[in-house]
Amino acid sequence: MTLDDLTTPTWWLTAVIGAVVLKVISDYTKTGIEKALSKGLSAWSSRSKASRARFEADVRHLRSSREVREIYFQREMRIRSQSTFLLIISVLSVATLVLYYLFELAPHLDDWKSRPPLGWSSLVHEVDRVWPLVVVILYCVAMIVAMSGSVVAQIKAQSMSRTWLAATKGLFPRDAESEPTEEIPEV
């Protein structure tokens, strides 16, 4: 495009048509985005209200009985233990994978580099090259599953902890005592 094209009616006609088309598209897009955003915000709001109601119902249920609080606390500790166990499994998966690499794969790397790349026929004829890849993939999957399970369990335990703390607030003697109001002297 040159400056001479600006003086032609074709350029002006295409510019006007392009602007009109862009305006129509942007109006429909804006409307769609606004509708999607309002639906998302209303869904978020209703989920937040439902979550708050569930939290308050759980707190009322926990305040109803000491045995219920003890069982709830034991469940939280069990979930925290599972989270720790899954984290240990993921670390052991990584350690095993590193050891497998050092003792099984590393000595054969030069030999495997001199061979042609893996193909579909390798799955049948060169199992000694495919098997390490399968092992590495399995260990990686095990590590990812264990790590994500640990994170999910920790989030669940933290949520249970917040509920339990809200239910037991003011039930223990140390909570009932007035907190000291002494100010800490500045150094």
The model's pLDDT over 58-89, given as tens digits with 9 standing for 90+, comes to: 999 999 989 999 999 999 999 999 999 999 99
Burial of 163 (0-12, 13-18, 19+ CB in 10 A): buried
Tokens of 185: 């002297």
Q: Which residues of the chain have pLDDT under 50?
A: 181-182, 184-185, 187
pTM for the model stands at 0.60
pLDDT of residue 106: 80
Cα–Cα distance, 87 to 144 (Å, whole number): 10
Q: Which residues contact 149 (CB under 8 A, 6 or more apart)?
A: 82, 83, 86
Cα–Cα distance, 52 to 166 (Å, whole number): 13
Mean pLDDT of all residues in the chain?
84
